[in-house]
Amino acid sequence: MIELTTWTTPNGEKPIIMLEECGLDYDLRLLDISTGKQKESDFLAINPNGRIPAILDREGDEETRVFESGAILVHLAEKTGRFLASAGPARAEALGWTFFQAGGTGPMIGQIHYFKNASERSDFAIRRFEREAERLLGVLDTRLKDAEYLAGEYSIADVMNWSWAVSGLKDLDARDRFPALADWVDRVGDRAAVRRALAKLTAAKEALAA
């Protein structure tokens, strides 16, 4: 059984989408990051960086901890043999787009959120990160003009990039500027597994607040 600890953020959505896509059984545990509990010892034993998401994958007497969303997606793909080629150009393409997100759109769009909500506003910082986020969204848009999915076929690259693309297009009011990316966002968002995952996160968050 897999135990997933996560929250309702773009990074937190990725593993539950992947678990639903793979049809794996899992125990969903929400950790409200506004409470600071992710910095407590129980969670640090799973993720020493103190950030969601993280999983514990238990098989028999063996327990594997996996933290960082990209690592979780690779682990689940290799566990099930789905959404990531075992070798060759298709694997390299999927991993390239996966880590493009880890080092690109997530950090840049996250900084936009931070500086827009900071106690001391910095218009220079906001614009700097907006420009880089727009550039990165443009890279995705250019790729998706020629491909249905980022690595050709649906893969962990799409799961990795989707939530941050949704956030970026909304924050920058950019759907009209990046139509291929907007179409891909809608196409991925219409997948049954994605809808199930988001519905389960919403229901769990409502139950936690009740």
What CA–CA distance (Å, rounded) separates 41 from 120?
32
- Phi, psi values for residue 201, rounded to 5°: -65, -45
50 touches 192 (CB < 8 A): no
User: How many Cα atoms within 13 Å fall on the side-chain side of residue 115?
Assistant: 17
- Phi, psi values for residue 63, rounded to 5°: -125, 125
Q: What pTM did the predictor assign?
A: 0.95
What CA–CA distance (Å, rounded) separates 182 from 177?
9
Q: Domains of the chain (ranges plus CATH)?
A: 2-82+193-209 (3.40.30.10), 89-191 (1.20.1050.10)
pLDDT tens for the chain, residues 1 to 210 = 999 999 999 999 999 999 999 999 999 999 999 999 999 999 999 999 999 999 999 998 999 999 999 999 999 999 999 999 999 999 999 999 999 999 999 999 998 888 888 888 888 888 999 999 999 999 999 999 999 999 999 999 999 999 999 999 999 999 999 999 999 999 999 999 999 999 999 999 999 887
